[in-house]
């Protein structure tokens, strides 16, 4: 019995050994066919289009920027350490001179929340280049920083929070937005953000009335919206009527025929997050009118004459609104925020400081505007890439601008990183203070 089983097993093994060479032979015969198919596919494939000079420049700059990431982190860390050491030395010197420690170490009063919402409409990704999207992310960061540092802070919303803008914040900017406080993110459009903002402003934690807003509420009957010029961008067909459901929403756009006189309480002001070098004129205005939303423009022309266009970066508009809440004076807000390089002359009589080159801190928060107005050197559209041979002279002229622009972009990126680190440290410190305060309370 055992011998028969062994013989059967030996027979099966021999049969398997005979079949194995056949399988190997079959594999060898099919391999040349596969190689022939692969070769034929490679021959039929179209050769890759050569990259233009400008595309190579962009690729090279992006690679250089990525290679220097660790070095920038090190420099930012060293800069923070040096800044802390310098501030300690300055405080020690003031104490040695007899300064009052209570005044020297006094904490800044926290910003007071008011029932006003500022919505950054970032739903224009399709209209911007990669460079412009980077600039927009810088402007959004500065908007958050300005809102938390003023005496009064508004409910800050970011609508259209998706796509490449969100991807950039989560990757290149290391998710610094995760540590932000007082900012709400909305994937939907600005109307979805306005609906949620309305609920927040009317809640018990909606904020307290600033003096400027209280005076606006008292004079609400006198604040009439009157057109001051004809329709700047007529729409095809009849203009839609205003949507009563969103009567508390105002879209700020320079093309509006209405002028913003005062900020109103329990109102959402939408600021277009669009950096397009003014290619899409009237885009924000049409977007608002088609949805029945009120529009308004800042009263820049009533107080000053600009040598350049009246288009401001998103962070500049936010800062102007916050300054008005504090000083209730458009002229002062414009003078302190609008960059010096725009150059302006005040229309109303005033001091010599109110004419000429602009006010103090005019270049503060300027990185967003840089991405909007400065020349980008080798940055070109696809159509321009095809004309490199005809534009060699222009390329030569713009090569000098590339280095300057890259340097500005690097400074902007470093500034954003510093703001993000500082915001994170402040948030952690606030959390510790709140914990200490709650622990010190009597449980009885």
Domains of the chain: total: 1
- Whether 254 shows a pLDDT value over 80: the answer reads yes
- Model confidence pLDDT, tens digit, residues 54-65: 889 988 988 898
- d(Cα 309, Cα 307) in Å, to the nearest integer? 7
Please give the full DSSP string across 151-212, using - where no structure is assigned.
SEEEEEEEES--HHHHHHHHTTTTTGGGG-SSEEEESS-HHHHHHHHHHHHHSTTS----HH
- The confidence score (pLDDT) of residue 44 equals 56
CA atoms within 13 A on the CB side of 406: 20
- Model confidence pLDDT, tens digit, residues 104-147: 788 878 889 999 999 999 999 999 998 899 999 999 999 999 99
- Model confidence pLDDT, tens digit, residues 172-205: 888 999 999 999 999 999 999 999 999 999 999 9
- The confidence score (pLDDT) of residue 226 equals 65
- d(Cα 242, Cα 255) in Å, to the nearest integer? 17
CB atoms within 10 A of CB 122: 28
Catalytic residues: 276
Identify whether 39 is part of a domain.
Answer: no
Identify whether 76 is part of a domain.
Answer: no
- Whether 76 shows a pLDDT value over 50: the answer reads yes
- Whether 426 shows a pLDDT value over 50: the answer reads yes
The mean pLDDT value of the chain amounts to: 75
Question: What share of the chain has pLDDT > 90, as a percent?
Answer: 39
Q: Which residue has the higher pLDDT, 254 or 433?
A: 254
- Model confidence pLDDT, tens digit, residues 301-325: 888 887 766 678 999 999 999 999 9
Residue 16 banded pLDDT, cuts 50, 70, 90: very low
Identify whether 185 is part of a domain.
Answer: yes
- Return the closest-CA partner of residue 268 out of 181, 195, 208: 195
CATH number, domain at 168? Answer: 3.40.1280.30
Identify whether 310 is part of a domain.
Answer: no
Q: Which residue has the higher pLDDT, 15 or 196?
A: 196
- Whether 356 shows a pLDDT value over 50: the answer reads no
Range of the domain at 252: 109-220+229-298
Cα-only R_g, the chain: 31
- The confidence score (pLDDT) of residue 155 equals 96
Contact 111, 146 (CB under 8 A): no
Identify whether 362 is part of a domain.
Answer: no
Identify whether 274 is part of a domain.
Answer: yes
Average pLDDT over residues 226-249: 75
CB atoms within 10 A of CB 82: 10
- The confidence score (pLDDT) of residue 247 equals 92
Contact 119, 270 (CB under 8 A): yes
Average pLDDT over residues 162-168: 93
Q: Which residue has the higher pLDDT, 285 or 434?
A: 285
Average pLDDT over residues 407-429: 58
Question: What share of the chain has pLDDT > 70, as a percent?
Answer: 62
Residue environment code for 315-342, b if the CB has 16+ CB neighbours within 10 A, otherwise e: bbbbbbbbbbbeebebbbbbbbbbbebb
Contact 210, 112 (CB under 8 A): yes
- Whether 208 shows a pLDDT value over 70: the answer reads yes
| Element holding 142 (H helix, E strand) | helix 130-149
- The confidence score (pLDDT) of residue 419 equals 61
- The confidence score (pLDDT) of residue 418 equals 62
- The confidence score (pLDDT) of residue 237 equals 65
Residue environment code for 166-180, b if the CB has 16+ CB neighbours within 10 A, otherwise e: bebbeeebeebbeeb
- Whether 369 shows a pLDDT value over 80: the answer reads no
- Model confidence pLDDT, tens digit, residues 77-92: 999 999 999 999 998 9
Identify whether 410 is part of a domain.
Answer: no
CB atoms within 10 A of CB 376: 20
Average pLDDT over residues 415-431: 58
- The confidence score (pLDDT) of residue 334 equals 92
- The confidence score (pLDDT) of residue 340 equals 79
- Whether 40 shows a pLDDT value over 90: the answer reads no
- The confidence score (pLDDT) of residue 231 equals 64
- The confidence score (pLDDT) of residue 34 equals 46
Average pLDDT over residues 387-392: 45
- Whether 405 shows a pLDDT value over 60: the answer reads no
């Amino acid at each position: 019995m055992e011998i028969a089983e062994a013989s059967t097993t030996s027979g099966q093994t021999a049969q398997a050994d005979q079949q194995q060479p056949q399988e190997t032979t079959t594999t060898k015969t099919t391999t040349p066919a596969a190689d022939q198919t692969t070769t034929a596919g490679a021959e039929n494939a179209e050769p890759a289009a050569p990259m233009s000079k400008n595309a190579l420049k962009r690729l090279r700059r992006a690679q250089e920027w990525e290679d220097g990431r660790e070095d920038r982190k090190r420099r930012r860390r060293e800069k923070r350490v040096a800044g802390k050491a310098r501030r300690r030395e300055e405080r020690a010197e003031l104490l040695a001179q007899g300064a009052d420690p209570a005044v020297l170490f006094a904490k800044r009063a926290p910003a007071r929340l008011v029932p006003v919402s500022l919505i950054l409409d970032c739903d224009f990704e399709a209209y911007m280049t990669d460079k412009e999207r980077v600039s927009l992310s810088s402007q959004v960061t500065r908007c958050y920083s300005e809102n938390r540092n003023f005496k009064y802070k508004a409910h800050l919303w970011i609508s259209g929070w998706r796509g490449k803008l969100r991807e950039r914040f989560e990757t290149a900017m290391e998710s610094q937005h995760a540590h932000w406080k007082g900012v709400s993110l909305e994937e939907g459009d600005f109307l979805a953000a306005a609906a949620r903002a309305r609920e927040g402003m009317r809640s018990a934690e909606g904020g307290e009335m600033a003096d400027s807003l209280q005076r606006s509420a008292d004079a609400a009957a006198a604040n009439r919206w009157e057109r001051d010029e004809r329709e700047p961008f007529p729409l095809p067909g009849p203009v839609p009527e205003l949507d009563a459901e969103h009567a508390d929403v105002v879209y700020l756009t320079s093309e509006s025929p209405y002028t913003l006189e005062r900020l109103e309480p329990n109102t959402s002001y939408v600021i277009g997050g669009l950096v397009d070098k003014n290619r899409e004129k009237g885009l924000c205005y049409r977007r608002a009118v088609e949805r029945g939303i009120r529009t308004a423009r800042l009263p820049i022309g009533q107080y000053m004459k600009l040598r350049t266009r009246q288009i401001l970066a998103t962070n500049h508009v936010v800062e102007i609104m916050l300054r008005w809440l504090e000083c209730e004076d458009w002229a002062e807000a414009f003078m302190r925020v609008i960059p010096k390089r725009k150059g302006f002359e005040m229309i109303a009589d005033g001091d010599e400081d109110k004419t000429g080159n602009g006010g103090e801190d005019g270049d503060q928060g300027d990185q967003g505007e840089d991405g909007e107005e400065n020349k980008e050197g080798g940055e070109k559209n696809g159509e321009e890439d095809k004309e490199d041979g005809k534009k060699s002279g222009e390329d030569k002229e713009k090569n000098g601008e590339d280095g300057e622009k890259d340097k500005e972009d690097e400074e902007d990126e470093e500034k954003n990183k510093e703001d993000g680190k500082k915001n994170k440290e402040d948030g952690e410190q606030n959390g510790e203070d709140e914990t200490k305060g709650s622990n010190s309370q009597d449980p009885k």
